[in-house]
Every structure is written in C-alpha cells, then in structure tokens.
C-alpha cells in the first residue's frame, strides 16, 4: 500500500475553503498519481492567488542560477521567485492572502535549500499574521540523524537553524522544529501523511521517485548526496553533467588505481565501488575525461558521510599538489557545507577519523532526543 501524501488527502482541503492562498511549490509538487498539486487544489476550489517557487524554479530547469518572476502558462497564476532578488515573500507579496501552503519534496539534507524557503516563508507569515500549512511528504532518507549540527558561524542559505547534516524529519516535522527551536510565531498546521512510518526510506513508501532537483535523479544519488555535496568545495567533479551525479567523483589528474586501493583499506558497510572514467557534459571539467571512482549504495540505510570523508582524506594523501578546496568556490565553502571545522581537521590530519565519527555519534543521539517529541509518525 502506497503512502498517502498530504496532497492526496482531499477531505482535508475544507480548511482552505473561502481563503485566498499562496502556494509554495515546484515540479516536485505532485500527488501519488503524479497529478500536479496546482491542478489538484484548483479542482477542489482552492483559491490559489499566487505561486512561490524555490531554487531551480517552478520547472526545475535552473541549476544554481537565479530565477525571475513569471506567470504559469497553464493556470495563468503569477509565479514569484524565492531564488532570485529575494529569498522570502515580501509584505506586498502576502497582501490579500489568508494563508500559505507549502508542498515540496526535499531530500532530508541540511544543505538542500528548499527547507530554508520553508523557514523563511514561516517567518514571513508570522510577521503578517496569516496561516501556514504544510502538506507533508516523506523524508527519503528516513528518520536517522547523521552528522553534527551546523556551527552558527557557518550559517548560510545552504546550512542553518542548527540542523545536523541528515536531520531525520519530514517537512511537517521540520516546520515544527523551526517553530519551536527558533520561536517562529506562525499559525502552523500540518496535513499529515497516511500509512507512513518514520523508519521508511523512500523505496518503502510505494511511491514513484519524484526527482527533487536536476542533479539528484535517483534515490541512490540522494544517498550519495549525503556528504557527496562536500566535493562541491573542491576542484574534483562530483559527477554533475554525467549520468550519475553524486555517485561518480573524479578529475583529469586523479590516479584512480591508487584511490581505489585507498578505499579498500577500510571497510564501509552499504557500498560497493569501482574505478570509473567519465566525461561531464557540464560543470567542473566539462567535456574532459575524468578518472575517478563510482559508488553503488547496496542498502537503503547506507550512510555515505564516513565514506566521503575518508575518500577526501585519500585525495589529500595521494594528490596533495592537485587537490584544491577553493579553486571553484570561496575558501570557506567546505565549512558552509559540512558546518563543522572538524571535517577539515580530519581531512588534513589534525584529528583522527575515528575520533570525529565517535563525537558525531554522541551528537546524533542528542539531536534525536531533542526532536523526539515533535515527531508526527
């Protein structure tokens, strides 16, 4: 039996009756039958006055670029971008609205910007005194918490609100976390899923994979995005522009035989890997042959974070002259993604790998205890 999403529960839409609505959504906003949420809501007489779209835009065609305002070509509804000149609705945007509805699929990782669109929109409605609803969706990576909470000094639009790397909450639960832990005084309601259990990974839900952004085409790429995103801070290709983004990592100068041997010196459950050459058709090393490693998750609960940190230690060990942490981004990019100075310390040998993993494990347990009473499932 497939999980019923918030958008599937039409009987709950009566709460929107007579209200003017702003819908926060994108291409991922479909029901379990793949009907887009705009059509579903309009067919139930929900009065959508404006659509707000996050990073990648309403259609998912912009990868990292700013997006402008537009009008939906099918529904003739204004679309306001929240990934361009502004990242939260203005007071003017919210005039004449009674509520905002958030319905976006995210991936359960701290550096995924959709969750900050959620938080910023909650803050905006709190100021305006209008209601905020979340139509809940699964966390593809389940309820497991992994990694440390981000240090406030590294906060940005790719990491904030003291979240761990894998925070283990659904969008609805995350909204309650934002509300309680950061005193966002908005009128919040969550339309909960049915037949969903917190220990589910996305393949367990019975739903079709709903591509959440251009570089995360599969559930397997989501597993490897958990930590694989750190490679964005280096001059290594993270597989963007290849058939398997975040599952293949390499560069024209990488010695894949030595990297493969390095990885085989330590056992990591839940993964297999191979030497792999590939040609990115966009992004770093565009149209160049990259030599590297391809990773294959072998279980839904596989944790890529320890493996990618060990991989990065190997990069520095084997290619100290070639590897760079600031060629393609500012020098603090690793910290803004990892949220933790200890990650660089571990990679550069100032902290033992085992020590970092042990400290993270204690912090994961503490965060799980913190959020236990806001879980909905």
**Average pLDDT score over residue span 67-87:** 90
Dist. CA 347–CA 354, nearest whole Å? 12
CATH of the domain at 269: 3.90.1150.140
**What's the rounded Cα separation, in Å, for the pair 164 and 262?**
28
SS (H, E, C) the chain: CCCECHHHCHHHHHHHCCCEEEEEECCCCECCCCCEHHHHHHHCCCEEEEEEECCCCCCCCCCCCCCCCEECCCCCCEEEECCCCCCCCCHHHHCCCCEEEEECCCCCECCCCHHHHHHHHHHHHHHHCCEEEEECCCCCCCCCCEEEECCHHHCECCECCCCEEECCCCHHHHHHHHHHHCCCCCEEEEECCECCCCCCCHHHHCCCCCCCECCECCHHHHHHHHHHHHHHHCCCECCCCCCCCCCEEEECCCCHHHHHHHHCCCCCCCEEEEEEEECCCCCCCCCCCEEEEEEEECCCCCCHHHHHHHHHHHHHHHCCCCCCCCCCCCCCHHHHHHCCHHHHHHHCCCCCHHHHHHHHHHHHHHHHHHHHHHCCC
- For the domain that residue 83 is a member of, what is the CATH number? 3.40.50.12170
Smallest CA-to-CA distance from 322 within 361, 291, 354, 363 is with 291
Q: Are residues 177 and 49 in the same domain?
A: yes
- Nearest in space to 5 (alpha carbons), one of 188, 131, 191, 133: 191
**Has residue 331 got a pLDDT over 50?**
no
Asked if 57 contacts 117 with a C-beta cutoff of 8 angstroms, the reply is no
Note the pTM of the prediction, 2 decimals: 0.94
Do the domain assignments include residue 206? Answer: yes
Cα–Cα distance for residue pair 308/236, rounded to 1 Å: 13
Sign of torsion over alpha carbons 314, 319, 324, 327: negative
pLDDT of 248-293, one tens digit each? Answer: 999 999 999 999 999 999 999 999 999 999 999 999 999 999 999 9
Chain-centroid distance, C-alpha 103: 14
Q: Do residue 57 and residue 129 come from a single domain? A: yes
pLDDT score, position 374: 97
- 98 Cβ neighbours under 8 A, 6+ residues apart: 19, 20, 21, 130, 131
CA 88 to CA 121: how far, in whole Å?
Answer: 6
Q: Each residue of 161-199: pLDDT tens digit?
A: 999 999 999 999 999 999 999 999 999 999 999 999 999
| pLDDT, tens only, 116-144 | 999 999 999 999 999 999 999 999 999 99
What residues make up the domain containing 76? 6-210+370-374
Average pLDDT of the segment spanning 325-335: 65
Predicted pLDDT of residue 326:
64
Residue 178 maps to a domain? yes
Same-domain check for residues 150 and 283: no
Residues 159 and 46 in one domain: yes
* 181 and 117 belong to one structural domain: yes
**Do residue 234 and residue 154 come from a single domain?**
no
**Which pLDDT score is estimated for 58?**
80
pLDDT value at position 325?
A: 80
Q: What is the pLDDT of residue 258?
A: 98
Name the residue among 298, 274, 281 with its Cα closest to residue 237. 281
Please tell me whether residues 286 and 230 are part of one structural domain: yes
* Residue from 89, 172, 174, 100 nearest 130 by CA: 100
The terminus-to-terminus CA distance of the chain in angstroms comes to 17
Query: Is residue 18 domain-shared with residue 112, that is, in the same domain?
Result: yes
Distance, CA of 364 to chain centre = 18
Q: How far apart are CA 330 and CA 324, in angstroms?
A: 11
Give the whole-angstrom CA distance, residue 35 versus residue 350. 52
In the chain, % of residues over pLDDT 70: 96
Rounded CA-CA distance 253/232 in Å is 17
Cα distance between residue 199 and residue 65, in whole Å: 35
CA dihedral 209, 214, 216, 218 (to 10 degrees): 40
Is residue 266 domain-resident? yes
Both 224 and 299 in one domain: the answer is yes
Residue 359 lies in a domain: no
Are 154 and 262 within one domain? no
Answer yes or no: do 29 and 166 share one domain.
Answer: yes
Residue 17 has pLDDT above 90, yes or no: yes
Judged against a pLDDT cut of 90, whether residue 40 lies above it is answered with yes
Please tell me the total count of domains within the chain: 2
């Amino acid at each position: 039996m497939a999980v019923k999403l918030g958008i599937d529960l039409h009987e709950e839409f009566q709460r929107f009756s007579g209200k003017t609505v702003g819908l926060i959504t994108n291409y991922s906003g479909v029901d379990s039958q793949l009907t887009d949420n705009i059509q579903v809501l309009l067919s139930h007489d929900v009065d959508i006055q404006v659509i707000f779209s996050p990073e990648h835009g309403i259609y998912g065609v912009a990868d990292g670029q700013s997006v402008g305002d537009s009008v939906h070509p099918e529904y003739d509804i204004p679309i306001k971008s929240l990934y361009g000149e502004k990242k939260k609705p203005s007071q003017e945007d919210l005039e004449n609205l009674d509520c905002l509805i958030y319905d976006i699929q995210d991936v359960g990782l701290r550096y995924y910007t959709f969750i900050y669109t959620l938080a910023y929109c909650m803050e905006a409605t709190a100021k305006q005194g209008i209601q905020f609803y979340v139509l809940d969706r699964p966390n593809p990576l389940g309820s497991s918490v992994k990694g440390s909470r981000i240090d406030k000094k590294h906060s940005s639009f790719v990491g904030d609100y003291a979240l761990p790397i894998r925070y283990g909450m659904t969008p609805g639960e995350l909204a309650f976390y934002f509300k309680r832990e950061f005193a966002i005084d908005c009128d919040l309601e969550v339309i909960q899923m049915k037949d969903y259990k917190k220990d589910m990974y996305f393949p367990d839900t019975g739903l079709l994979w709903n591509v959440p952004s251009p570089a995360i085409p599969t559930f397997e790429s989501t597993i490897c995005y958990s930590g694989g995103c750190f490679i964005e801070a280096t001059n290594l290709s993270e597989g963007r522009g290849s058939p398997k983004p975040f599952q293949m990592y390499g560069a024209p100068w990488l010695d894949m035989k030595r990297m493969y041997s390095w990885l085989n010196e330590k056992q990591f459950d839940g993964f297999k890997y191979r030497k792999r050459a590939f040609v990115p058709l966009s992004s770093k090393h565009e149209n160049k042959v990259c030599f590297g490693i391809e990773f294959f998750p072998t279980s839904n609960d596989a944790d890529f974070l320890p493996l990618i940190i060990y991989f990065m230690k190997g990069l520095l060990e084997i290619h100290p002259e070639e590897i760079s942490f600031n060629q393609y981004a500012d020098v603090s990019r690793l910290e803004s993604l990892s949220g933790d100075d200890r990650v660089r310390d571990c990679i550069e040998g100032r902290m033992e790998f085992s020590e970092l993993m042990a400290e993270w494990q204690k912090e994961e347990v503490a965060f799980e205890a913190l959020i236990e009473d806001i879980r909905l499932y």
